[in-house]
């Protein structure tokens, strides 16, 4: 399928993991993409790898905590493609919790919210007029099951819950302007964040009814669906992509064997 032929797409946190997989999926389906990330060298390498495969892919260093960076990224995407059809918000920060909640520093709390929630707000605010102008605009953000159930990481979880709320309220505002806004809500995904903790990842795997953790490509496929015209009557929705984690209580039964 080439559902994104002649589409210009901006993706945040696209250097690796879910962002890189999403860029790969969308370019496979014909999109031209601007990959952004705070790690400029890494996002340059990811874009270069996509170009070697024949994709139209550009890279830009962007810190979503900076309004200047965000506006520069949106302007660059419109300048490159002549339009902006899809915004994919993936950038997030997850700082380990303090041992006691009362010891949580203001700085780490604010940082996680500023990247994870406020960053998506900044990107959507800057992109919305261009998405409206495209006539087929879509925003897809990546949330987390942490936004629904307690898995720790207080600030990150609060930010992801806020992102789900922002998705609904922005969908209400943007719908009459022809822009759809949706959220993908992953469970545990095998990314570089788990490097060195493979044993823990194996333990977590046994909690999933489908018997495995997610791969970045699982989330990329969901993003592609919600961004495409196949989802043209879907907005304000949270799509769980969690291997059944929140739907089935595995704690009260024997762990699934390999």
Model's pTM, two decimal places?
Answer: 0.95
pLDDT score for 253: 61
**Confidence band for 258, pLDDT divided at 50, 70 and 90:** very low
Q: Identify the residue with better confidence: 257 or 3.
A: 3
For the chain, what are the domain ranges? 8-241
The per-residue DSSP string of 70-135 comes to HHHHHHHHHHHHSS--EEEE-----PPPPSSGGG--HHHHHHHHIIIIIHHHHHHHHHHHHHHHHS
- Residues 143 and 138: their CA atoms lie apart, in Å, by 16
- Torsion-angle region of residue 142: left (phi > 0), alpha (psi -120 to 50) or beta? beta
pLDDT score for 95: 94
Residue 206 CB contacts under 8 Å (≥ 6 apart), including other chains: 250, 255, 256
- Please determine, for residue 192, whether its predicted confidence score (pLDDT) is greater than 70: yes
- Torsion-angle region of residue 135: left (phi > 0), alpha (psi -120 to 50) or beta? left
208 is catalytic: no
- Please determine, for residue 256, whether its predicted confidence score (pLDDT) is greater than 60: no
Residue 101 CB contacts under 8 Å (≥ 6 apart), including other chains: 154
Which helix (H) or strand (E) segment holds residue 167: the answer is helix 154-174
pLDDT score for 252: 63
160 is catalytic: yes
Which position has the token pair 């993706």? 11
Q: What percent of the chain has pLDDT over 70?
A: 97
**Confidence band for 243, pLDDT divided at 50, 70 and 90:** very high
Choose the catalytic residue: 122, 160, 190, 205.
Answer: 160
Q: Identify the residue with better confidence: 31 or 152.
A: 31
Cβ(89)–Cβ(12) below 8 Å: yes
Structure confidence by residue, pLDDT tens digits, 114-155: 999 999 999 999 999 999 999 999 999 999 999 999 999 999
> What integer is the mean pLDDT of 99-115?
96
CB atoms within 10 A of CB 178: 14
Enter the CATH code of domain 8-241: 3.40.50.720
Residue 93 CB contacts under 8 Å (≥ 6 apart), including other chains: 111, 112, 114, 115, 116, 156
Cβ(141)–Cβ(205) below 8 Å: no
Choose the catalytic residue: 86, 156, 163, 167.
Answer: 156
- Please determine, for residue 46, whether its predicted confidence score (pLDDT) is greater than 50: yes
Q: Identify the residue with better confidence: 200 or 20.
A: 20
Q: Could you give the C-alpha distances from 194 to 207, 211, 213, 253, in angstroms and in order?
A: 16, 18, 12, 26
- Residues 33 and 47: their CA atoms lie apart, in Å, by 9
CB atoms within 10 A of CB 210: 14
Q: CA dihedral in degrees (196, 147, 38, 173; nearest 10)? A: 160
> What integer is the mean pLDDT of 79-94?
98
CB atoms within 10 A of CB 55: 18
Q: What percent of the chain has pLDDT over 90?
A: 89
């Amino acid at each position: 399928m080439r559902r994104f032929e002649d589409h210009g797409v901006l993706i945040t946190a696209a250097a690796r993991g879910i962002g890189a997989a999403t860029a790969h999926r969308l370019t496979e389906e014909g999109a031209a993409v601007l990959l952004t990330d705070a790690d400029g060298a890494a996002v340059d390498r990811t874009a270069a790898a996509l170009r070697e495969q024949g994709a139209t892919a550009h890279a830009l260093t962007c810190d979503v905590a900076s309004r200047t960076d965000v506006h520069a990224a949106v302007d660059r995407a419109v300048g490159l493609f002549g339009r902006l059809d899809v915004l994919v918000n993936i950038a997030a920060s997850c700082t380990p919790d303090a041992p006691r909640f009362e010891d949580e520093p203001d700085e780490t709390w604010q940082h996680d919210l500023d990247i994870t929630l406020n960053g998506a707000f900044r990107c959507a605010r800057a992109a919305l007029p261009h998405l409206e102008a495209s006539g087929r605009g879509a925003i897809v953000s990546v949330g987390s099951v942490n936004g629904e159930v307690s898995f720790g990481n207080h600030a990150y979880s609060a930010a992801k819950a806020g992102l789900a709320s922002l998705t609904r309220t922005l969908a209400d505002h943007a719908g009459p302007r022809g822009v759809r806004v949706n959220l993908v809500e992953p469970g545990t995904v095998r990314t570089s964040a788990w490097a060195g903790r493979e044993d823990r990842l194996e333990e977590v795997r046994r909690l999933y009814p489908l018997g495995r953790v997610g791969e970045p490509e699982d989330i990329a496929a969901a993003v592609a669906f919600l961004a495409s015209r196949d989802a043209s009557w879907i907005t304000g929705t949270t799509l769980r992509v969690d291997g059944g984690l929140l739907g089935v209580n595995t704690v009260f039964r024997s762990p699934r064997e390999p």
